[in-house]
Each structure stands twice: as C-alpha cells, then as structure tokens.
Amino acid sequence: MLNSARRCLFALLLPALLPMAGARAHTAFTVPVPPWTFPGTERGVATEYLRYLFDTAGVPLKLDSLPYIRVINGLRDGSNAAAVLIPDAERDTFALRLCQVTTIHSGILYKRARYGKLDLQHLSGMVIGMQRGTHALDRLNDVAGVRPYTIDSIDQGLKMLEKDRLDATFLSSPGSESMLVAAGLSQGDYAWLEVAVQPVVIYVSRRAALSQDEAALQRLRAVCDGSGRAVMQRLVHHYR
C-alpha cells in the first residue's frame, strides 16, 4: 500500500519535475529596493514571489539583483529573462506581459511641517525627485509648475528630502513603511500624496530564451493566475 501511494505521489509531481531535469536556469534580476528586494538578502516581495512562481511551474531560475536601470536594460537585451515591474508602452516593445500580480500606489513624500496637506493642484514650484527610468509619476507632467529632479534611487531621494534639497520625492506603496524605517525617518514627520495606482506585472524579455518556450510560459501563467494570487497577497501584506 505504501509503495502504491509513493508511486501515485511521484506521478503527480513528475510533470513539474521533468521540465527542470537538466534544463539550464533562466536568470532574472530584481531591483534591490524594499519591499521588492531587501539589499544583501533573499527576502522581498519580488524575490520570494519569482522564486515561488518558477519553482512551482517547474522552470529553473537563477535570481540576483541589479540597479533599476540595469534591470530594464537587461530586459531589453535579453540578459534579464524576467522582472516584476509597472508596465508601460515602451517596455511592451522589448518584453512580454506574462501576467498581472498586484497593484502599486505611486506618490510623493514630503515634510508635513513644511507643507501641511498637499493636493495635485498645489504643487507648482516644487522640486520633486523622480526616479530615472520610471513612468510612475507621469501624471505630474500635466501639473503646471512642477520642477522634476532626476534621482537614481528612492534612497537617494529620501536623503535629499531629509536635507531639504528636494521639496518632495517619489515613494510607492507597498514599501513606503519599509523605506522610511530603512532610511531612519520618522513616519510622523512626513506626509504622502498619492499620484497614481498602477498594475504590476511579470515581464519576460522578448530576447530571452524563455520567451520562446511556450510550454514554460503556459505553466508560469497557470501558477500566476492560480495559487500565485494568494502568495502575492500574503507577501504584500507582510512587507507593506
């Protein structure tokens, strides 16, 4: 009876195990920004979700992290097989949208003592940190008088804001609490204005070998649209 049960279990696992046997691992990069990836660790929403997604789908994966712009460029040239990002028309030209996994609330952080409560109609003249390569704050392009300042990372923007070198800076949620804690900033001293709510998707580079493996893509989509939903919800709640 025991041997029979083991054979049944093996038969159930075999479809997922076979694709991984002897297959070369695909390389995917995440951005080392909490809560998506905590620098120097294997923790974070993007890191843990991608590992779950690929492992469950039986697709070999090698994970690492790179600065934001290099993650984008890797999708463009095929050295980055997959990434967790906000979609836009430009990225659609060099990457496939595998599936949507969650939403992200993008906005700006500012000092409460300087501005009280802000809204989009009262940002004229403000110097606002906008992260290089992202379109999360594109809505501010239509607000008269906003003075964008390009930052290379959210951490840089927070440091400049703390020293009053910026009037406000880009910050998104989930992750806003984690970033403030990491920067040593008191949440009570800062306020946040939501600018946009956008989807977050898994992108697969059109130039990566994975994009040509339709069977693997189908398995990844099935996990993403199935058990992956609950996994992402748990991760977002845990790392908010």
For the chain, the domains span 19-103+199-238, 104-198
In tens, the pLDDT along 177-192 reads 878 988 899 999 999 9
The reply to whether 104-198 shares the fold of 19-103+199-238 is: yes
**65 contacts 39 by C-beta, under 8 angstroms:** yes
The CATH number assigned to the domain with range 104-198 reads: 3.40.190.10
Whether the CA torsion 120, 123, 129, 132 is positive or negative: it is: positive
Q: Is the pLDDT of residue 35 over 90?
A: no
Q: Which CATH class is domain 19-103+199-238?
A: alpha beta
**63 contacts 30 by C-beta, under 8 angstroms:** yes
Identity (one letter) of the amino acid at 223?
A: V
Q: What mean pLDDT is predicted for residues 93-112? A: 96
State the pLDDT at residue 13. 45
Q: Give 222's contacts (C-beta < 8 A, 6+ positions apart).
A: 57
Whether the CA torsion 153, 39, 92, 195 is positive or negative: it is: negative
Residue 115 to residues 44, 106, 108, 133, 192, Cα–Cα distance (Å): 32, 19, 12, 27, 11
